[in-house]
Amino acid sequence: MIFLGNKCADVLAGKSAKSPLDLNVVRRYFEDSKLISDIQLRLATILCHLPARPKQKTKNVPKIGLRPLEEHALSSRHSI
């Protein structure tokens, strides 16, 4: 069954490769792709030129003990 699906996908891909593309769709795709590339490049440039910051130590937060599931179920307002 999988091979039949792959065969159909190959046939449809071959047909779509031969069909003409709408220039409005293609142009918007390339414009959006260029815009995304420009934004990513600008963000990378900003990140590379940020000044170094001193590292802040994190506070040790005490871990809360885990309660058993039965205890959670008994303290719940829901009826089981």
The pTM of the full predicted model, rounded to 2 decimals, is 0.45
d(CA 69, CA 75): 10
| Position 1 confidence tier, pLDDT thresholds 50, 70, 90 | low
Angle, CA 9 vertex, CA 4 and CA 14 arms, to 5°? 130
The 10s digit of each residue's pLDDT in 39-66 is 999 999 999 998 888 888 888 877 777 8
| Position 3 confidence tier, pLDDT thresholds 50, 70, 90 | low
Average pLDDT over residues 10-22: 80
Is the pLDDT confidence value at 6 over 60? yes
Structure tokens at 52: 């170094």
Domain borders along the chain are 21-50
